[in-house]
Amino acid sequence: MNALVLDLDYPALRKNKNIETFLNRYEKVIGQIRDLQMKSEDFDRVKVIGRGAFGEVQLVRHKASQKVYAMKLLSKFEMIKRSDSAFFWEERDIMAFSNSPWVVQLCCAFQDEHYLYMVMEYMPGGDLVNLTSTYDVPEKWAKFYTAEVVMALDAIHSMGFIHRDVKPDNMLLDRHGHLKLADFGTCMKMDSTGMVHCDTAVGTPDYISPEVLKSQGGDGYYGRECDWWSVGVFIFEMLVGDTPFYADSLVGTYSKIMDHKNSLNFPDDVEISKDAKNIICAFLTDREVRLGRNGVEEIKRHPFFKNDQWTFDTIRDSVAPVVPELSSDIDTSNFDEIEDDKGDVETFPTPKAFVGNQLPFVVTLYIFTLQSAALQKKLRLLEVQLNNEKQVKDDLDQKHRYSSCSLQDMLNKEFNDRFQVSGRKNLESSLRQLEREKALLQHKSLESHRKAESEADRKRCLENEVNSLRDQLDDMKRRNQNSHISNEKNIHLQKQLEEANTLLRAESEAATRLRKTQTESSKQLQQLEANVRELQDKCCLLERSKLSLEKECISLQAALETERREHSQGSETISDLMGRISGLEEEARQQRQALSKAETEKRQLQEKLTDLEKEKSNKEIDLTYKLKVLQQELEQEETSHKATRALLADKSKIKVTIEGAKSESMKELEQKLAEERAAKLRLENRILELEKHSSMMDCDYKQALQKLDELRRHKDRLTEEVKNLTLKIEQETQKRNLTQNDLKAQNQQLNALRTSEKQLKQETNHLLDIKRSLEKQNQELRKSTLYKTQVRELKEECEERNKLYKDVQQSLQELQEERDSLAAQLEITLTKADSEQLARSIAEEQYSDLEKEKIMKELELKEMMARHRQELAEKDITISSVFKMLKLQMFHLKFNHKQIIAVGVHISLFCVFIFSESEKSKDWEQQISQMKQAFEKQLQSERTLKTQAVNKLAEIIYRREFRSRDSRRGNDTDMRRKEKENRKLQLELRSEKEKLNSTIIKYQKEINEMQAQLADESQMRIELQMALDSKDSDIEQLRNLLQSLSVQSMDSASVSSGPEFDADDLDEACISGLEKISLSTGYFHCS
């Protein structure tokens, strides 16, 4: 509706009553809708960061949320002028519907009268071209960025698209230094076999694959392997510094690409590993053997990507080789400076008839998702908090286990020391340590209690945030009920909320477990306090406790037997639990298989839905077009029917046959309409059934996910129980071994401890003295070695800096000389290029003006032809009416002589009218010839201007290439950029030449058609002139007849004595004369 209102809101079209009523009814409503929709005024422009053929990219800030985005502006006028108004659909769909972190996300899309707007996330790290120009990229970095490019291309291929323009210019870096793919204007949808049909070569010359080159001018048929070729070129460029098939001209690059088996060479002065050479050669081969043809896993398994820092699953979470340093959120230091374009914006001309310039851009609106992005960020923060809480909980569990193990070890040691007769002092020291540890444990228990309380508070906060997120989701649902895309986003957010709820439940369970462990630790502390008291009592009674020790030995033996029994029982329980775990794992596998089947069915249904929607839209368009054609045919038939009624009023039989034919045609048309409507209803019913089926599949998918989550929880619980049992068994075995060893060593230790105490004291004193002397010596040695190493390092640094200083001075001198020469060349070429661009723009404007004038002239010619035909028909009607009047007057001549004189006057006036009309036809023919000459002159001037502009551009390009050959040294990044610009200019030249040739052919066809029309018109003119001459002769005959009749009437009036005048003879003579005239002219037969 918005596009229709924009296309109809012109003064020339408002003259039509139907258009005027339509605009009066819907203009205000659509104005209100425009005010509610997103507009470019909702953003503050910060800076222009990119410019292309169809528009520019701006850095903007959203006024409401104060967030920074990159906004892409596409000119509707330029897209329609170049007949490229459909490439933005793929770009919009890929960025909008992809959830991959490797693709630049689209936040919103909208339009106005002149532009299409796409608001994307801002990538402040710039592109990889900037990175390669500022750093010498090592193989480690190239490995990292290649892996991220592989992941990004896999994400796009999984969506069913081929990129076809993979190059460093389209690889952007975010604020963390990770890579994302952009610029999806060249993407193309794959068919069911994963292939693409295309007859034009698309892409950048240095990165284009041989199969895409072969598709130029033929039936191209290739798959996703063309993107892996570009990846191979990218790796070579990263490691070497230049593309592998570089040449001074496009023909040279294309010939090298086609002969890649012989032209691929590695330079000797660059160190490249065997794995890197292997992967480059595996990518730069024929498509039948190319790496990646059998899937991405084939690429991931290549030894080039082996390292110790990251894998393909963890690469997104790892640290990038280069993290951009940003001063603020609007830092554009990683982008080239681009001047603001202050020129006038080209807009559509005001049409005199309906053109439909806005119709190709219908439904480019995409729901604004800034709020959903904020919600997703909140959910991510909540997930991070949950992970942190889990880590804290794990740390507390480990500390608790460690403290319990240490307490048990201390108790065992104290129990062993209890058997020693002379270990009273040791027991007292151990008691003191136990008291300290008791205080520490009490402090830790208080800390764990506080942490548990803080976790409970965090849990409450998380629950409040989840509730707020649910409220926001409900609001989003209410706002976005009419849009399918918002429903998908809401479903995604609901899934995330469900995951957050499950995480919260797990966190609450963990908190309850922590509380339980806290209560158990408090109980253990109480037991420890009781044990400490018992030990204090026993310390006093150690000398009298020999009998009690023997009893305790017997009890220990009994405890050992019980522990053995418990150990056997624990092993049996472990075997049972392992059996349960295996059964649960099998169930989980079955559930996963069912899930994978459901996902495949869901994907197939979604693909069917998309295909049916496309078929529905195509059929609706066909139906509307057929309805319009049928309406036009009906109108034409009605007009012809009216004409036949006017011409054939007396012939009733012919009228009946025409009406029957008309009714039959109307019935056929109505049958066709009924069939089309029935087909449309069938399609809509089929789409509804598919949507129901997809909703049922979604429900089954959710239920399967819930079952999987329950099985995973049950499995985790069982694994925890198994771990706890194994820990208990290990502790029991340790206790048993310790008790056995203690029983054996008690007798030996009683004898050896007394002798060892004295020796240990002497040895400790001696060791303390040695330690002091060694520490002094170590300090002196460290000082001396530090001084020596510092002196050596300083000397080496001085020598290296001197060498670097000399090298830098030499390179600076060379660079200054090159810069001066390049600056002079650039100034000359830029001035020429500016002048040529001005001339080209002027020529294009003149060309568009001439096209407009041509269309207007054609319309005027058609109108003139229609008028001329109407005038001829009117003349024929007037002539036939004159002959009828003459007949009647001839019948009434005997009664009224004055009527004969009036007929003569009328005939003379009619002759004057016919003469003036013949002169007008001659003037019209002269005008047509003049218009033809003017058109031919304009075409010739257009051709000359176009050829001059193309020749001058070619001269500039060849001059740049010649100078670049002379001044090209090394791997200078500026020269590479200039060469790429030259290649782009050559591509533009080729496209302009092709367009010029096509326009020349079109105009030649139009000239031939005009010449044929002029020949037809000249023949028509000759026939009309012949008819006019015949009519002049007929009029002269009528005049002669009238004169003779007047003479006869005068004779009959003057001579009364003569014979009587026979009126019947006179009538017969007049009628015979008129019949002769009518036979000669053929007008009476026509009537």
Angle at 882 between CA 877 and CA 885, to 5 degrees: 125
Q: Is 993 annotated as a binding residue?
A: no
Segment (H or E) for 492:
helix 484-540
Cα separation, 240 vs 269, in Å, equals 9
Is 50:335 a contact under the CB 8 Å cutoff? yes
Helix, strand, coil share (%) of the chain residues, nearest 5: 75, 5, 20
Is 207:345 a contact under the CB 8 Å cutoff? no
**329 assigned to active site:** no
Amino acid letter for position 928? I
Cα separation, 494 vs 489, in Å, equals 9
Cα separation, 706 vs 716, in Å, equals 15
What residues does 172 pair with on adjacent strands?
A: 127, 180
Here the tokens at position 442 are 């009490």
What residues does 60 pair with on adjacent strands?
A: 45, 69
Is 148:178 a contact under the CB 8 Å cutoff? yes
Cα separation, 397 vs 283, in Å, equals 50
Cα separation, 916 vs 685, in Å, equals 67
Is 928:1017 a contact under the CB 8 Å cutoff? yes
Cα dihedral 280, 281, 284, 289 sign: negative
Cα-based torsion angle of the residue sequence 249, 254, 255, 261 in order, rounded to the nearest 10 degrees: 130
Is 597:664 a contact under the CB 8 Å cutoff? no
Interacting residues of 240 by C-beta distance below 8 A, sequence separation 6+: 266, 267, 270, 272
Where helices occur in 284-369 by DSSP H, the ranges are 296-300
Is 390:396 a contact under the CB 8 Å cutoff? no
Interacting residues of 960 by C-beta distance below 8 A, sequence separation 6+: 829, 978, 982
Spot the catalytic one: 127, 154, 165, 206.
Answer: 165
Is 117:95 a contact under the CB 8 Å cutoff? no
What residues does 74 pair with on adjacent strands?
A: 55, 116
Is 74:115 a contact under the CB 8 Å cutoff? yes
First to last CA, the chain: 50
Provide the phi-psi class of 956: left if phi over 0, else alpha when psi is between -120 and 50, else beta. Answer: alpha
Here the tokens at position 562 are 């019980």
Which backbone phi and psi does 246 adopt, to 5 degrees? -70, 140
The residues assigned a catalytic role are 165
Binding-site residue numbers for ATP are: 72
Binding residues: 72
